[in-house]
Structure 1
Amino acid sequence: MTDEQFSQIMAILVRIEGGMKTLPAPDALLAALAGVFGRNEFTSSEAWTVAVELERTAETLGQRLPDLPHELQLAGITTTHGLGRYLGVREGRGVSRVGDVREGVLWKIAPAVSRGDETARTILRAG
């Protein structure tokens, strides 16, 4: 192996290591959802609406990005459909499918993850 090849491999490893540091913890998004919805039921569309409003408010006030929009970005979720798929894959492991409504599937975060915050209901009522 030449010095140039070794340098290229090391550069790749450094990029991989840097990327690994930014990967979200497996339950970080569920914890962020729990922080917003607590033990309340929600659809992926409602969660998305809340995340967008939280992000807009933070940008307007010059504050750091709140956990929910931040974790959605880290997870690479860019649509309500993507969020629904994420929740569906985790059904039974921190999140439960509790019903179907016209707007979509109703989800609920498990009590062990949930912190009981009412942020989402306040935002949804205001909108």
Structure 2
Amino acid sequence: MSVFIMACNGNESTQSSNQDLKAETDRMPVKKAIPDSEEEVSELPEGLKLINGSDCNVCHKKDIKLVGPSYIDIANKYDKSDKVITTLAETIIKGGKGVWGEVMMTAHPSLKGEDVEKMVEYILDLRTIE
């Protein structure tokens, strides 16, 4: 019987803590994953639209390392110059290995060079260090 009473009391504190957590998350701002309107889509930078229309986000996220580095880590590693943009675009199209570890970056030969350069420019604009 005492086990039953303890279990019930534990359940009340779990419910209370779940309610506290829900109240806390209700106050957090929510990032929309999908824009609500064509206007919101048109406000996105061209490079980001191209990234979102590709498979880049399977291995990369803006500020979290997944299979590959985050976009911000990439931006902080490279200066934004025509040479860097061209080199990174070629790496995306041809694939690569060794710069960020042993995991190979898959080649993306079906992407157009000019589109990939816009994607790289967007990524390099995320630089957070000077």
| TM-score, length-scaled by structure 1 | 0.29
Q: Which entry has the higher C-alpha Rg, 1 or 2? A: 2
Q: Give the number of the structure with larger relative contact order, counting CA–CA contacts within 8 Å between residues 6 or more apart.
A: 1
| TM-score, length-scaled by structure 2 | 0.29
